[in-house]
Structures are given as structure tokens and as C-alpha cells.
Chain A
Amino acid sequence: MNRSNQRWWMEICLVCLSLFSSSAWSDSQLNLTKGVTAVSREVYDLHMLALYICTGIGVVVFGAMFWSMIFHRKSKGAKAADFHESTKVEILWTAIPVVILIAMAVPATSTLIDMENNDNSDVTIQVTGSQWKWHYKYFDQNIEYYSVLSTPREQYENQDGSFSGNGALKGEDYLLEVDKPLVIPANKKVRFLITSDDVIHSWWVPAFAVKQDANPGFINEAWTNVDEPGVYRGQCAELCGKDHGFMPIVVEVKSSEDYDKWLDEQHALTAQAENAEKASLSSSMSKAELMQLGETVYLAHCAACHQPTGLGLPPTFPALKGSAIATQGSIEEHLTLVINGKGMMPPFGKQLSLKEIAAVTTFERNAWGNETGDLVQSSDVKAVSEE
């Protein structure tokens, strides 16, 4: 930390003061969410039941303890009794908890049976986790896309240099916002098929009471049926590496009509993108265009590991600045790596368009002093990916 001590202490004092201001507490949530589905409300009720039972037992047990601590103390002249065994009492306080547990197990069982009933869904969506983004694929719809954190880096990397960070500049949905949310219809049973491309992730939306691990090589099922349209936010819940804290989930629930409209838009967009891919094959882009698009793509998809500076985080994530592959290797080699991935590097072939891959490869070969002067066009990418 290259900041003066004095400033640091002042900030700490300010922060401590802010703890006592009442407005700071306004957004804090104390309890579990009730959520927006029948299941999530059952889960909430079960949570409250368990909480009340525990509180009740706590009051009785701690009450007895405090009673004896207050009244059975030596300083008050208490003489120790000499009982130390009673089979009757032991049986009693074995049996009563068993009854209480059964009272909790019954509703828990019925809720669980409900949650695990994945039959008769109206919509099926495949959810795939990868380091560190989510991919959604609508069955029978030819719609699929990645959903990536959209909070700008400046907001979480505290680039204004202050200890407390530029708190005021952090958006309302800081770290809980994405570029393209998952869209599902309201009042329809939506089934999720959840899997992973690399390590284990966990897809969690608290408002639906759905948390299901995404295991590489296996598919898990979960479902939801949301009552009301709205935007619901969640996060990856299983440690999945460096940016585990930076792969949120946003689900936009739309009314049936809006959902159908959205599907049409997506189909049009897909068609448009396919045409653009074809068009890009027969045209070539200027260096300025490639570099500009390349930088955007790089920051969105590559900078998490290779860093905006191109210096990477060696040894796990190698530098691209001055690297052999980006400065001396052939364009084909470089493209193969970007398209197919290698080891921890994910394949970007299905994730980015030909144009985007061309642009980002051009960018990597010409940014940060990598002055190869190479320009990569969509047709080059197509050639390599068809090899």
C-alpha cells in the first residue's frame, strides 16, 4: 500500500463513524428470502419452523442454565445436591427431541419430494458453468449465449487508490449484474439441466430456492415455476477458482407474451449474426477497426486471466505481452490456441464470432508493444477452425 498512513487512519475513522449512521443499515437483510415460487415459500416456512423450534429449545435450556447460575451459586450459600443419575429423565430427554425431529422431518420430506420432481416441464434450458461465466442454451429454440459479469473492473479494483474505494461509484447491482441475463417465462415450469465445462460451479438463485452444482461431465436437474415477472439475482455458490466471486446469475422473468416476443427477437438476432458471419468472410476489416473491436473482446473475455495489461498472472496465467505465441509464433498457431483452448485455457471457438476472434487475435499481436503488424481476418479464423 503506497498511501500515507494518515489518510489510511482517517478513512478507518470515517468508516467506523459510518457504521453508526442509521441509513447505513437500510439495505441490510436479516432473514432468508421468501422468494417468488411456491417451493421457495415452502422452504422459507420450513426455515422459520426450524428457527422457532431452535429458539424455543434455546429459551428452555439456556433459561435453566441461567436460573441455576443465578440461584445455585456458592456465593448465595447454595449447597450442592447429590443427585447425578436418573434413567427416567434420560429417556424423557431422548424421547422428546425425537418427537420434535419427526415434526420437522415431515414437512421437510414433502418439500423435498416436490423439489425433486422434474417431470412435465414447459421449457428446458441447459445451464453450463465455466471459469467464470454462465452459458444458457434453450432447447428446441436455437438460442444460446454466454452471460458475463458486466460490472466494470474500475468499480471493484478500486482504481481511484483510496482505501475505502470509490463506494459512491459502485452501481446498485454491483457484482450482481450481467451483460445478457437468462430470460424465462412466468407461470411455466422451467427445467434447468446444469453442467460444467471445467471445474465444479453451483447455480444459485435464492428467490427460486434453486441451488444445484454444475459438475463437469455430468448433468444435474432442477426446476422452478415463478409467479411474478421481475429480475432475480444470484451467484455461483461453489469455489471455482480465482474469479469465483465474479460470476453472478441474473434471471429475467417475463410474462408469456413478453417471453414469446423475446424469443422472436433472439431468433432474429441469431439470423442476423449468422448473416454477419457470412458477410465478414468476404470482407476485410481495417487495422483500426480490428484493434478497437479486439480491445473490447479482450477486456470482456481474456483480461480476467491475462490481465488488461497483458502481463497475466504467472505462472498460472501466462503473459501475452512479448510472449512467444503472440509475437514469434504463426497466426495459425495463435488462432488454434484461441479457438480450441489448451489446459486451463478455455476454447473460445463456440463463444465468439469469427470476427471477434479475428479482432482479438489481431489485438493481442499488436497491443502492449507486440508490434507484429499482423492483421487477422474472419476468413483466416474460418480456415483454422475448419482444419
Chain B
Amino acid sequence: MTTHTIDESLDDAHHDHKMKGIKRWLYTTNHKDIGTLYLWFSFIMLLTGGALAMVIRAELFQPGLQIVEPDFFNQLTTVHGLIMVFGAIMPAFTGFANWMLPMMIGAPDMALPRMNNWSFWILPFAFAILLSSFFMESGAPNFGWTFYAPLSTTYSNGSTAFFVFAVHIMGVSSIMGAINIVVTIMNMRAPGMTYMKMPLFVWTFFIMAYLLIAVMPVLAGVVTMVLTDTYFGTSFFNAAGGGDPVMFQHIFWFFGHPEVYIMILPAFGIVSTIIPAFARKKLFGYSSMVYATGSIALLSFIVWAHHMFTTGMPLFGELFFMYCTMLIAVPTGVKVFNWVATMWRGSMTFEVPMLFSIAFVILFTIGGFSGLMLALTPVDFQYHDTYFVVAHFHYVLVTGSLFSIYAGAYFWLPKWTGHMYSDSLSKWHFWCSLISVNLLFFPMHFLGLAGMPRRIPDYALQFADFNKWVSIGGFAFGLSQLIFLAVVIKCIRGGNKAPAKPWDGAEGLEWTVASPAPYHTFSTPPKVD
């Protein structure tokens, strides 16, 4: 698909002008450095959000209130959700975008390197503000990551302003990151790389970035309304003042539904890169994959109210949102079928990136199945706001998005560090994660069907048995992630030298540069034909 030449004399690798120490990281405009920063930041956030989740699971280990007060429990679930969505998953994908997009399209860097620096460096402040509210007298936000009004306005505790400001900064960061991705992909592709020749990875990030630009301002709008309702006496969401609390949910989910695709489209891109590499066979149905991604993105704008079937919508609204939501199963199904067809009659090997990708396809599909069941309005009345929903979105976000992130990290670690990672340790990470994550999330389906509502700190006795298992799975899954930390640190410090292309079936421009990737790559664009 591609040929290229690197003119060594023009390669900037030998005079890369890196600053030393902390300044290198503070002032960097290099896409690889910024990618590294994003990835480390997201991993720290994953462990932070995971620690909160483990306190939640410790409280839910048995019936009765043992460890935390109900109000603090609500703070834990709220901040856990916010951190995982905005701190762990989204920055990890931006990290991948930074590291890989320029190398995949043969560009020297991202299009807007200074903005790139800024969009990363405001993030730690956003999360410092959010987390600092735990240490305030009023405590952290306690109204759920979906911050439904009026619980988040009239009835909120004193830290709402901190929450709103933190979300604003996260939004600014995401929008800048997204603009950078769009501008880079539109303008900096190597000569000859037409849109339909871009790797699918690039396509999914391209579409994801458009979704971000479309909906992050909506989030900014809705948190601002929460702010003014709480502190300045407006009544956007207060019926007594002429507002409507359900309008909050419409605006929030108009952001929130595309947001969930923001967190899964890049995962599709990563997995679509890895499966062909280890099946040693081209991705099946490339163009249908592009169209399916686009369809999912478009549909994501007209399904938001399926989160709100119980709010009292007219029958017509319920039917419309049910049909549109069911329709999403079609392009999503096309993707899954294409992955299976890519594996079919391939010549497969099962290195750790492939293991995570296969687990992704199976477990994400299970999350898709429960999603389809949730789309059916009459049954959604039973599933809504129960552990069935909790199981559903953890299957798509943990065994979906997070597993794809691990797959991608293992796939490109040799390119990033120049070393091969420890095969045995990484297999331990995979198998421990796979077993514990299913112990953690699968029984939640049963809990939800049996009638356990989400976001409760204590539960009736018939839910006790499964909750024990879920908690044990949770602790095991949390601890298993430390193995990944060990793998990465070991890989950075040494290990077998990685060749430029460690996977024989891998394709793409990133494998044409040395491992580790030189500080500057593609100062002269490669030619793609």
C-alpha cells in the first residue's frame, strides 16, 4: 500500500533540541512527548478512579453500611464516573491520537503544536480542582456524573462551582485536542494519501474529533446553566421559576450520547488496526467500516432520549427514540461481522495486543447485546437505572474502550520505547484482567434483572451473594492493572531491542521509522501510492 524513503540527511533525529528535565515536558510541543504525557496522565487517573471504585465495592461487599456514609458514597460514584470518562478514557485516546496520527499520515507533528501543549497542561488543573473538593467541608459533588437537576442545583452541596469549573476546563481541553486532530488530518496527510486510503484508525479519530467539537459546547452550556441556577437565581431547570428539570436531561444527553461514541469509535480504530496485523490478512470491508463509523456518528445525534424513557415522554417520542436506537445495531453489527471476516481464514497468532483485541470484540459485543435490549422501551422500564445498565456500560467502556487502549498500548509499546515488553508478564496482565473483569461485571446483569437499583450504598438481602462476587472481581481487576504498570516500566527501562516492525503482519507508515521512533519523524513527507 505504501512506499517511502527517508532521507537520512534531512532526518531531524540527530538534532532534536530537546530541553532537559521537567522543562522538556512543560514546554514541549512535540507530538510524541505530548502523547506520552496524555497516556501517563490517563493511567494515573485510571488508578485514581479505580481506587474510588474499590471503596465503593468494599462498601457493597455486604449488606449494611460498613465503611462510608451514604452521602460520601454518592460522592464516590460521582467522581469515579467523572474521572473515568473525562480523565482516563478520553485523554488516553488523545494520547494515542498525538502519538500515532502524525506517524500514520506521514506528518512531522500535529498541526497546532502550541495549542497541543496547552490542551494537555490544563487537564491536571481540572482534575486537581475536582479532586480537591473531597477535602472541602461540603465534600465532592454527590449528584452522579450525570448531575441531574435539581439535585445538582437547588439541592447540591457547596462544591458545585468547583465541579462546573473543572468540567469547563476539561471541555476546553477536549475541544482544543479535537480541533488539532481535525486540522492535522485534513491538511497534513502525506502526498497520495487520499481520504479513502487513510488507515481506519485515522478515520475513527477524525470522526470522533468532529463529534467532540459538536457536543462539548453543549456540555459547557448545560454546566453553565447548572452554575447560574445554583448561584445566580436563574430557573432553567426549576419548575417553580418556569423552567423544566427534564430539559436538563435533554441537553445533557444531547451531549452524553455522542460522548459515548467519542469513547468507542477510537477503540474501533485501534482494534481494526490490530486484528489484520495478527490475522495476517487485510481488514475486511474497509470502505464499509468507514461508512459504518460515519453512520454510527450521525445516528448518535438522534438517540439521546433513550436515556430518558421513564421521564414521561409522549408515545411518539418513545417510539422514535426506540427505533433510532435499534438502528444503531446495524452499523455496529457490520463492524463486528467485518472483524470476524478479517480473522476468517487468516493466519492467526495470539500476541497480547491480539488477545486484548479478541476479548474486545467478544465483550464489547456482549455490551452491544445488552444495549439492544435496553433500546426496547417497554423492557427499558424494567432495566432503567438498575445494575443491568451498570453492567451494560461497563462492558462497553471497560472491556470495550479500556481493553482497546491496552491492546493499542501493547501494539505500539515497542515503537514508543524501542524495547519489546515482557511477554509472560503481559500475558498475566491479560488473563488476570479478563477473568476478574467478567467476575466483576457479568453478575451485575443478574443483579439488575433481579431489581437492584444503581447508586445505592446498601441493598436488600437477596442481592447479597452476587455483590460479594462482584466486589471480589472488582478488587482483583483493580490490582491486575498494577501488572500493566510493571510491564510498562520494565519495557521503558530495557528489554529485547525492538525492530522497526516487530509484528510481521502490521501495515502502516509508523512501522517504516525506527524503534523507538525518532524525536522527529517525517520531516520529509513519504510518498503514498
> Which residues of A line the B interface, CB within 8 A?
1, 15-16, 19, 24-25, 27-33, 39, 42-43, 46-47, 50-51, 54, 57-58, 61-62, 64-65, 68-69, 72-75, 78-86, 89-90, 93-94, 97-98, 101, 104-105, 108-109, 111-113, 115-116, 131, 155-158, 163-167, 170, 172-176, 198-200, 202, 204, 206, 209-213, 215-218, 220-221, 234-246, 313-316, 343-344
Contact = CB atoms under 8 A, between A and B. Distances in A.
Contact of A215 (B70, B245, B342, B466): B245
Contact of B334 (A31, A94, A105, A211): A94
Given A27-B462, A238-B148, A156 B245 contact: no
B347 A89 contact: no
A17 to B, nearest CB: 11
Contact of B349 (A47, A75, A105, A166): A75
B218 interface: no
Given A28-B446, A93-B333, A33 B451 contact: yes
Contact of A173 (B284, B378, B381, B460): B460
A313 B157 CA distance: 12
A237 B64 contact: no
Interface centre among A58, A209, A217 (most CB of B within 10 A): A217
A234 B322 CA distance: 25
Contact of B336 (A15, A61, A164): A61
Interface string B457-483: 111111011101100100000000000
A216 to B, nearest CB: 6
A160 B404 CA distance: 46
B465 A28 contact: yes
A112 B318 contact: yes
A8 to B, nearest CB: 11
B449 A217 contact: no
A80 B349 CA distance: 11
A116 B378 CA distance: 10
A58 B64 contact: no
Contact of B450 (A29, A50, A69): A29
B122 interface: no
A112 B378 contact: yes
Contacts of A101: 326-327, 329-330
A78 B505 CA distance: 14
B195 interface: no
Nearest to A65: B340
B471 to A, nearest CB: 10
A113 B245 CA distance: 25
Contact of A89 (B341, B451, B466): B341
B312 A213 contact: yes
A220 B329 CA distance: 30
B179 interface: no
A77 to B, nearest CB: 9
Given A155-B64, A211-B381, A241-B151, A51 B348 contact: no
B346 A68 contact: yes
Contact of A74 (B246, B310, B349): B349
B20 interface: no
Closest 7 CB pairs of A and B: A217-B239, A245-B456, A165-B64, A220-B312, A54-B369, A84-B282, A29-B450
Interface of B: 61-67, 69-71, 74, 137-138, 142-144, 148, 150-151, 154-155, 157-158, 238-240, 244-246, 279-288, 310-312, 315, 318-319, 322-323, 326-327, 329-330, 333-334, 336-337, 340-350, 358, 361-362, 365-366, 369-370, 372-373, 376-379, 381-382, 384-386, 446, 449-451, 453-462, 464-466, 468-469, 472
Contacts of A116: 315, 318
A111 B386 CA distance: 21
Given A29-B449, A85-B284, A165-B66, A216 B348 contact: no
B143 A239 contact: yes
A51 B465 contact: no
A46 B456 CA distance: 28
Nearest to B309: A211
A73 B348 contact: yes
A83 B283 CA distance: 9
A18 to B, nearest CB: 8
Given A83-B345, A112-B322, 13 more contacts: A1-B67, A29-B449, A31-B446, A73-B348, A155-B64, A167-B62, A175-B63, A211-B385, A218-B245, A238-B385, A239-B143, A245-B456, A316-B138
11 contacts: A15-B468, A24-B464, A27-B462, A29-B446, A30-B450, A50-B373, A58-B366, A69-B350, A204-B453, A218-B239, A244-B74
Given A93-B334, A157-B65, A218-B244, A176 B460 contact: yes
Nearest to B318: A112
Contacts of A97: 329-330, 333
Given A62-B362, A112-B322, A170-B461, A46 B378 contact: yes
A104 B361 CA distance: 24
A175 B382 contact: no
Nearest to A217: B239
B386 A237 contact: yes
A142 B477 CA distance: 55
A221 B310 CA distance: 10
Given A50-B379, A167-B63, A213-B311, A105 B323 contact: yes
Contact of A25 (B74, B327, B465): B465
B315 A112 contact: yes
A90 B245 contact: no
Contact of B240 (A39, A217, A314): A217
B337 A200 contact: no
Contacts of B327: 101
A54 B148 contact: no
A209 B378 contact: yes
A315 B385 contact: no
Contacts of B148: 199-200, 238-239
A126 to B, nearest CB: 15
B146 to A, nearest CB: 8
Given A69-B358, A216-B239, A206 B451 contact: yes
Contact of A236 (B287, B453, B461): B453
A64 B344 contact: yes
